[in-house]
Amino acid sequence: METIQLDLRNVKGQRRAVEAQIQQAADLILAGELVGIPTETVYGLGANGLDAKAVAKIFEAKGRPQDNPLILHVAGAQWLPKYCKDIPLEAYSLARKFWPGPLTLVLKRADVVPDITTAGLDTVGVRCPDHGVTLSIIREAGVPVAAPSANLSGRPSCTSAQDVREDMDGKIAAIVDGGPCTVGVESTIVDLTCTPPKLLRTGGVSVEALEQVLGTITVDAGAVAPLADGVAPKAPGMKYRHYAPKAPVTVVTGAGEESANVIQKQLQPGDGVICFHEFAPRFKGYVVQDLGAMNDKQVQAQRVFEALRAFDDTDVKRIFAQCPDNRGLGLAIGNRLKKAAGFQVITPKEKPVILGLTGGTGSGKTSALKAISALGGEVLDCDAMYHEMLQSDKAMVADLKAMFPNAFDERGVLNRKQLGSEVFSNPVRLDQLNEIVFNHMGKEVKRRLATSEHVLLAIDAINLLESGIAKQCHATIAVTSPAELRVKRITMRDGIDELYAHLRINAQKPDGYYRAKCDYELENDVASSEEFQEKATTFFKHIIGKLQEENQHG
Ligand code: TXA
Ligand code: MG
């Protein structure tokens, strides 16, 4: 069969010619033929969705498994009652907000829709595509157009008429060229036959945007992750190997800089790379597909299938791909890349966020640190660390012995009282002690940070600022509290009287000192420790979010 080309890229000012070609495409569809049609997501392989024989040709041309249902493309929400039953109100709210556009609604099917179109399911996927040419063809034909993506089964989807010809030349009656697809990834699929609605496939409409209309939605396991053996996805198509170039793909997640580093280490001559625009110069000498700027997910979505397809014209042996984060369109782009990789994914260790906490006694550091633990963080308590190091850190003990020989008994055991009295009223000796302790403590903190598996760490140190350990933190936080509250807490906690509590507080640096020197202040001005822990949690979440963002981009 000769596949004719209808060029409708430029539809301005040529009404007659355009109308004739749209008519021709609609006639072919009504005659039971297959036509490659442009949409804003990807090109579709269209047939009359009510004509079982025509629909059968789709499965044959694509090599598509028979159990994988097709989406019906309609001209607007007013067509829904013809092909669907029991339509919930949400369907119309979603259509009003997102149609024409990249959203497919799964609804109960009406009897006119043949079994082959829905692969025997009692539901049907429906969407109104946002492409003037295809909308005109659907209106002209007056039937819903069943259309899967126009690629051969298993290959990346087609985002240009040229891609369609590559896969379908000679197999279908016509290809309508409507220019490159503006969205570039397929429609989001949401099942409205269950409560709450369920996301079956990520796509051109983000989860965040859907939730604005629907409230919370559930996400089908098959939509975002590889399925465990024996688990059936709700969208049958999600179980098949998909989008895959001939060469094996490995996706590397994480911030741009990190994933680029990981890829650089993996690369061997003959490999290919899909990377963000900013990193392309790093991969000179390899076959590179530029996915678009790191922060431009719209372009990344437009480019992702083309990038995957392009490698099939080369002889690269392996492909490594950077991956956007999961927000907005990033979820769908990452999903397509991961599916192309058969979920072969490298996840670089996340850069941890390191907070330094300091402040005087009774201000509530302990409650603040409980909030850190509750957020899954690890707390490094420098006071406890110091006591451990006196037992185990031979280098520190040797330095102390050399500087304070009188503080050690004949067996070489430290007498802490003796050491205390030597430095208590002698600032020079105190400085000498601090210099030794801070030096070894700094090294120990560094070692513990490097070996921690946690992505959130808090260092608790009264001498955080003086010891230089603050330099190892992404942010320093002063925990402060009004004096009268501190007195109350100390008297309760340590069973001492108010006068003594005042003396203890006055012997320490004032809140103002910590406030001036730290990046943030967390003020404990509430009555109970539970209340403060809650306040601290909100405060830390905010700072952690900010720092994670900074870690990502620098
Ligand atoms: O953006 C798009 O949706 C493109 C363009 C051409 O409109 N079409 C598209 O169709 O991606 P296709 O056939 O490649 O993918 C349709 C997906 C499959 O995973 C299929 O299993 C699922 O939709 N699907 C279709 N009808 C369904 C139904 N009634 N229930 C659950 N999943 C359904
Ligand atoms: Mg497809």
* pLDDT tens digits along 16-35: 889 999 999 999 999 999 99
5 C-alpha vs ligand 1 centroid, how far in Å? 25
User: How many CB atoms neighbour CB 343 within 10 A?
Assistant: 12
pLDDT for residue 10: 84
Contacts of 208 (CB under 8 A, 6+ apart): 327, 328
Q: What is the pLDDT of residue 18?
A: 92
Q: Is the minimum distance from the CB of 41 to ligand 1 under 6 angstroms? A: yes
**Is the shortest distance between the CB of 445 and ligand 1 below 6 Å?**
no
What's the confidence (pLDDT) of residue 317? 96
Residue 553, pLDDT score: 58
Residue 47 Cβ < 6 Å to ligand 1:
no
CB neighbours (10 Å) of residue 127?
26
Query: Does residue 274 have its Cβ closer than 6 Å to ligand 1?
Result: no
Beta bridge partners of 4: 174
Query: How buried is 23 (Cβ within 10 angstroms: 0-12 exposed, 13-18 middle, 19+ buried)?
Result: middle
CA of 163 to the centre of ligand 2 (A): 14
DSSP H stretches of helix in 31-114: 52-62, 80-83, 89-98
Non-local CB neighbours of 456 within 8 Å, separated by 6+ positions: 352, 353, 355, 372, 375, 376, 377, 378, 544
Helix/strand/coil for 319: strand
Whether 69 contacts 125, CB under 8 Å: yes
Closest Cα to atom 30 of ligand 1: 235
> How far apart (Å, rounded) are the C-alpha atoms in residues 176 and 161?
7
Nearest to 29 by CA among 72, 83, 66: 72
Burial class of residue 301 in the structure, from the number of CB atoms within 10 Å of its CB (0-12 exposed, 13-18 middle, 19+ buried):
buried
106: DSSP letter: E
- Is 62 touching ligand 1 by the criterion CB < 6 Å? no
Ligand nearest to the CA of 234: 1
Rounded to an integer, what distance in angstroms lies between the CA atom of residue 113 and that of residue 264?
Answer: 52
**Residue-by-residue pLDDT tens, the chain, 554 positions:** 999 999 999 878 788 889 999 999 999 999 999 999 999 999 999 999 999 999 999 999 999 999 999 999 999 999 999 999 999 999 999 999 999 999 999 999 999 999 999 999 999 999 999 999 999 999 999 999 999 999 999 999 999 999 999 999 999 999 999 999 999 999 999 999 999 999 999 999 999 999 999 998 999 988 888 777 777 788 887 776 688 899 999 999 998 999 999 999 999 999 999 999 999 999 999 999 999 999 999 999 999 999 999 999 999 999 999 999 999 999 999 999 999 999 899 988 778 999 999 999 999 999 999 999 999 999 999 999 999 999 999 999 999 999 999 999 999 899 999 999 999 889 999 999 999 999 999 999 999 999 998 999 999 999 999 999 999 999 999 999 999 999 999 999 989 999 999 999 998 999 999 999 999 999 999 989 999 999 999 999 999 999 987 776 55
Q: Is the CB of 185 under 6 A from ligand 1?
A: no
Contact 339, 296 (CB under 8 A): no
Our measurement of the distance from residue 498's CA atom to the centroid of its chain's CA atoms, rounded to an integer in Å, reads: 52
Distance between CA atoms of 68 and 45, rounded to whole angstroms? 14
State the DSSP string of 13-52: T-HHHHHHHHHHHHHHHHTT--EEE--SSS-EEEEETT-H
> In whole angstroms, what is the distance from residue 347 CA to residue 326 CA?
13
Question: Using an 8 Å Cβ cutoff, are 127 and 105 in contact?
Answer: yes
Distance 106 CA to ligand 1 centre (A): 10
**254-301 residue pLDDT tens:** 989 999 999 999 999 999 999 999 999 999 999 999 999 999 999 999
pLDDT of residue 14: 83
- C-alpha–C-alpha distance, residues 477 and 470, integer Å: 10
Residue at token pair 């044959």: 60
> Which protein residue's CA is at the shortest distance from atom 20 of ligand 1?
237
* CB 156 less than 6 A from any atom of ligand 1: no
Task: Give the ligand 1 atom nearest the CA of 147.
Answer: 6
Ramachandran region, residue 184 (left: φ > 0; alpha: ψ -120 to 50; beta: rest) = left
pLDDT for the residue 214: 95
CA of 157 to the centre of ligand 2 (A): 6
Contact 441, 386 (CB under 8 A): yes
Ligand 1 neighbour 124 (Cβ under 6 A): yes
Residue nearest to atom 10 of ligand 1 (CA): 148
What's the rounded Cα separation, in Å, for the pair 35 and 358? 69
Average pLDDT, the chain: 94
